[in-house]
Structure 1
Amino acid sequence: MRFSTFKFQVIILLLGLAHGQLYAQPTPPEGKKWIIEKSLSDEFNGSFDTNKWSKSTWNYKNTPCEMVTQNAGVSDGNMWIKATLSEKDSLWFKTARVQSKSKISFPMYTECRIKAANISAYTTYWLNNGNANSRDEIDICENNPKPSIAAQTKIRPYTLYSQYFIVKNGVTERNHSEEQKRRPDTRNLSDKNPAKGKKWNEDYQVLGCYWKDSKNVQFYINGEPAGSTNSKQDFSLDLNIIWDLWTGPFDYLGGLAIKEDLKNSQWNTMYVDWIHTYKLENIKN
């Protein structure tokens, strides 16, 4: 029986290596183990699972974005969100948002295999619950591989904007200045990391978030630690998992998308191959 188990583990290891990448959750605390949270995990091998995910049509303010349900779906083993050009003068960036129906709190770990759209827009993967005046938010992935602001083309395509917000009664706490300076850059990753030196639209990467406790969050790129945060206030809300694709006339986004780029079906879509989310459970015996 032990030999059979060993053989099985070897087979799994070889399959992972053959696939080109091998991922593991962070080491759980002593006496704990990770178990899958099925309501927040999906291989996206079938159709869009309406038991797990919904399509939100809430729009960002002061942007040309219009969230529509038809611009997100599941096909060919991926959940996708695409941006298309609308004939509307003010809301010409037609896009979508996918949000979990379940919520989760710390301690937890979530990771997804994601590829950015090749347009000047934020491809996102984040956790949120609340509104502008009262919310907790953890941004795992905000990246723009093709900024329309020329001065940002040498930095932003390689940078992952991972951060947090705690907003109570309209007062915002976000990353400390030193944490902001340590944003992960793919060019600074270890040589063994598949994302080393790549722009976010070039290939799929596994981005992860270990929400350890009420104040600490650790981020990962393909299993490699890639930035962390430590808040002053406590995170106090259960959060939804969200993906969306959006643009706006702001420096912090990299600039507005180019309208012609939205007509290119090879560029205008972000993809999520899978998402795995875990929670901790006591080890028995």
Structure 2
Amino acid sequence: MLKKAFLIKSASLLLILFIGCSSDENNGEPEKPIDSITPTITCVSNIDETVDALSAGKQVTYTAPTGNDNLPGFEVSQIEGLASGELFPVGTTTNTYEVKDAAGNTATCSFDITVTRSEPSSSLPYFIGADPTPSDKVWSKVENLSDEFNDGVFDESKWLNTDPARWIGRAPGLFKKNTVSEADDNLKLTAYMLDAPEVVNGSTFTHAGSNIYSKEAAQVGYYTECRMKANQTFMSSTFWLINNRNDGTGCDVRVTELDIQECVGQVTGTANFAQNFDETMHSNTHSRQTDCPETPTGSAGGSSEIGAKVYSDYFVYGVWWKSATEIEFYLNGENVYTITPEADFDLPMFLRMVIETYDWNPVPSDGGMTGTEEQRTTYYDWVRTWKLE
């Protein structure tokens, strides 16, 4: 009886194995070979395009990559970037394509399309994106408030190198003429430590800075800009406007100051407001020293992140003194904020390029002048001023 049961069980097992083998062979058809070969794909080389300052981007066409495989049935698709013929924005767009075969094997390739804006023109203000110029006006350069600094000679017909009768500097920074030079197509203001402290008007000075005045005054409606690379010290790099208080009469005997950019290369102060002064654009409007109670005094300002250290590269700082009550500020051609001053800004103001010390950013323990001459220098590539006509 046991022998018979064993035979039946063995026969059943053989039947199951036979059925399983028949199923695996797909009714007698041989198994398909496994595809382990990766497909191939090749992208075009990187593409560089240039647009003018007012363009947001450029339409770029390119040859889409084609793939290949050892077997038919592969597909190519874009998995990153923009298709050929689309508008590519200013900056770098990475385009990635993938080829995938029928077995699921994949390969990718990538290339960059970089769209760069043209350098600011010496014939027009540097605006990017929307052009704010009124449709019935054109910009005309004010030559006495403009300088390309490209002839190796400091232009004394346009600029005054320090004026001790007005301001000698804020201790411990004393303005010195020998900090100023023009070379390498730049106005160069180079700070240094004095060989010995100097006492002037009861104040002790240990460092040398710079103070450049324009001889001609800017007026309401002017647009002024500079391309500047800040120094890397605790001393400032600045571009601003201020009036001469005693030039006015009556209630115009007052001070109006318009700071376009004030920054430092090394933050040594501990105040919260100071912590980003080495990587932002800081602007202010000040109304002060008025003899008329009806004239408002006070300050109003704004700031914008640069996205890098102020000394890492040249940046374009600009201001449109649009009206007595509306002042627009520009960073690298873009309008970053608008300030309404506390009092009307309608008095003529003179351009200033100043390297000074701030009481809120004290001298570091090593004196702050251990860097190279290049690191201690603020570079002005150019200054340009425009008026509407």
1:144 match: 264
The partner residue of 2:341 within 225, 231, 236 is 231
1:31 and 2:155 correspond: no
C-alpha separation in 1, matches of 2:284 and 2:324 = 15
The partner residue of 2:353 within 243, 251, 262 is 243
Q: 2:227 is paired with a residue of what secondary structure? A: strand
Larger Rg: 2
C-alpha contact 2:52 2:117 (8 A) present in aligned 1: no
**What is the CA-CA distance between 1:219 and the residue it aligns to?**
0.6
1:74 and 2:182 correspond: yes
The alignment covers a number of residue pairs equal to 254
Q: 2:278 is paired with a residue of what secondary structure? A: helix
The partner residue of 1:165 within 261, 273, 286 is 286
1:42 and 2:147 correspond: yes
Q: 2:374 is paired with a residue of what secondary structure? A: coil
Which structure shows the bigger proportion of residues in strand conformation? 2
**What is the CA-CA distance between 1:19 and the residue it aligns to?**
7.5
C-alpha contact 2:160 2:212 (8 A) present in aligned 1: yes
1:64 match: 172
Letter in 2 for 1:228: T
C-alpha contact 2:298 2:342 (8 A) present in aligned 1: no
C-alpha separation in 2, matches of 1:162 and 1:225 = 13
1:54 match: 160
**What is the CA-CA distance between 1:164 and the residue it aligns to?**
0.5
Gap change, CA 1:150 and 1:20, over 3 Å in 2? farther
C-alpha separation in 2, matches of 1:41 and 1:61 = 25
**What is the CA-CA distance between 1:159 and the residue it aligns to?**
2.5
C-alpha RMSD over aligned residues: 2.8
Where relative contact order (Cα < 8 A, 6+ residues apart) is larger, the structure is 1
1:174 match: 298
**What is the CA-CA distance between 1:82 and the residue it aligns to?**
1.1
1:108 and 2:213 correspond: no
Q: TM-score, normalised by structure 1?
A: 0.79
* Segment drifting more, 111-120 vs 48-57: 48-57
C-alpha contact 1:85 1:259 (8 A) present in aligned 2: no
State the Cα deviation string for residues 26-66 of structure 1 (Å, max 9, x = none). 52223111111111111100111111111124445651111
Q: 1:27 is paired with a residue of what secondary structure? A: coil
C-alpha separation in 1, matches of 2:218 and 2:275 = 36
Q: TM-score, normalised by structure 2?
A: 0.59
Gap change, CA 1:92 and 1:20, over 3 Å in 2? farther
2:96 match: none
C-alpha contact 2:51 2:116 (8 A) present in aligned 1: no
State the Cα deviation string for residues 171-199 of structure 1 (Å, max 9, x = none). 772334xxx4x52122xxxxxxxxxx201
C-alpha separation in 2, matches of 1:129 and 1:122 = 20
* Segment drifting more, 91-100 vs 126-135: 126-135
C-alpha separation in 2, matches of 1:131 and 1:60 = 17
Q: 1:70 is paired with a residue of what secondary structure? A: helix
Unaligned 5+ residue runs, structure 1? 1-10, 187-196
Q: 1:136 is paired with a residue of what secondary structure? A: strand
1:270 match: 378
Q: 1:93 is paired with a residue of what secondary structure? A: strand
Unaligned 5+ residue runs, structure 2? 1-49, 56-114, 121-125, 198-203, 247-252
C-alpha separation in 2, matches of 1:204 and 1:120 = 18
1:87 and 2:211 correspond: no
